[in-house]
């Protein structure tokens, strides 16, 4: 009996020691985890306080705060230049060479002369957009710039819309073709063919719009007008007219009066000729007959 009572206190003491050891182990693990978490937190804070960390943080904040840049890649550029030069053909040859060296070409060309014989030329030039600014500057330097107009039209939204509509229209045409392959009735085939023709026409129209936009956005249009410089400058007129001015004015008035008189005579001449012809006919034909008919009637009265 004594041996059993002595064993129970021993087991109880061993259980208490095991529980205390487990409690101490849990506390140390918690402390280690807290320490590791605190250490990682401190390390993150120290890294953030460092110059490199601060710079990275500022760059990230600026990148997040800065609005995205929108670049318009589809722009129609047009310009109009009026330049006064001494020799129009020479300046036109130089303009052609400049445009062709830039990879462009010469479009419509119109040449005329004014009342004084000075030559004027209007030519349409198409140049790549990348060389637009350089070509424009070269053309401005060919002579005396009188007028310059430049425009830029952003058609990015229009280009995106046309491309989206083309994609949708192509899918629609493909669906109509699939339905035609599956159709068995003649009426259905006829209806689908009409619908297919209509949708293909719409697709071709959209493709034409796309090609036009591509041409106008890839090549800029420059309208160049060249005119010759007057050889002699006009003499400034005096405020008070002199004797020569009076004589010149009187002679001009006299010539103008004679011109109007000649024009009036020329206008009346056909009517005067007709009247003279009638008078001649009256005197030669009608009047003698009247005289002959009146003479026999007067004869008996005289007897």
Q: What is the mean pLDDT of the chain?
A: 74
Predicted pLDDT at 262: 84
Q: What is the pLDDT of residues 84-123, one digit of tens each?
A: 998 898 999 999 999 999 999 998 888 888 777 788 899 9
Cα 85 from Cα 90, distance rounded (Å): 9
Cα 166 from Cα 133, distance rounded (Å): 33
Predicted pLDDT at 211: 94
Cα 265 from Cα 249, distance rounded (Å): 24
Helix (H, G, I), strand (E, B) or coil at 143: coil
**Taking the domains of the chain in order of start, what are their residue ranges?**
2-53, 68-164+213-233
**In the numeric block, which tokens belong to residue 244?**
């020569």
Q: Compare 240 and 106 and report the one with higher pLDDT.
A: 106
Cβ–Cβ < 8 Å for 228, 117? no
Predicted pLDDT at 160: 93
- Binning pLDDT at 50, 70 and 90, where does residue 53 land? very low
Cβ–Cβ < 8 Å for 217, 75? yes
Cβ–Cβ < 8 Å for 222, 123? no
Buried b or exposed e, range 35-52, using 16+ CB within 10 angstroms: eeeeeeeeeeeeeeeeee
- For the chain, give the number of residues: 303
**In the numeric block, which tokens belong to residue 295?**
């003479």
pTM here?
0.49
């Amino acid at each position: 009996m004594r041996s059993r009572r002595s064993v129970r206190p021993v087991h109880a003491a061993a259980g208490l020691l095991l529980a205390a050891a487990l409690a101490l182990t849990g506390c140390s693990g918690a402390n280690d985890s807290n320490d590791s978490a605190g250490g990682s937190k401190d390390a993150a804070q120290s890294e953030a306080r460092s110059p490199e960390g601060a710079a990275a943080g500022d760059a990230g904040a600026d990148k997040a705060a800065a609005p995205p840049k929108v670049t318009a890649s589809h722009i129609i550029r047009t310009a109009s230049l009026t330049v006064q030069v001494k020799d129009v053909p020479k300046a036109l040859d130089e303009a052609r060479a400049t445009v062709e060296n830039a990879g462009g070409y010469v479009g419509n060309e119109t040449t005329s002369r004014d009342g004084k014989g000075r030559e004027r030329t209007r030519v349409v030039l198409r140049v790549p957009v990348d060389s637009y600014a350089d070509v424009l500057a070269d053309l401005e330097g060919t002579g005396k710039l009188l007028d310059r107009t430049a425009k830029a039209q952003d058609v990015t939204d229009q280009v995106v819309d046309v491309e989206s509509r083309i994609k949708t229209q192509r899918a629609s045409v493909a669906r109509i073709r699939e339905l035609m392959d599956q159709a068995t009735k003649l009426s259905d085939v006829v209806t689908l063919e009409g619908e297919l023709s209509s949708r293909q026409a719409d697709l071709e129209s959209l493709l034409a719009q796309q090609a036009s936009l591509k041409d106008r956005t890839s090549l800029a249009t420059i309208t160049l007008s060249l005119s010759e410089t007057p050889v002699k400058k006009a003499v400034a007129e005096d405020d008070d007219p002199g004797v020569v001015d009076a004589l010149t004015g009187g002679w001009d008035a006299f010539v103008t009066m004679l011109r109007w008189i000649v024009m009036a005579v020329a206008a009346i001449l056909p009517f005067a000729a007709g009247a003279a012809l009638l008078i001649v006919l009256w005197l030669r034909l009608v009047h003698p007959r009247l005289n002959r008919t009146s003479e026999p009637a007067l004869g008996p009265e005289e007897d």
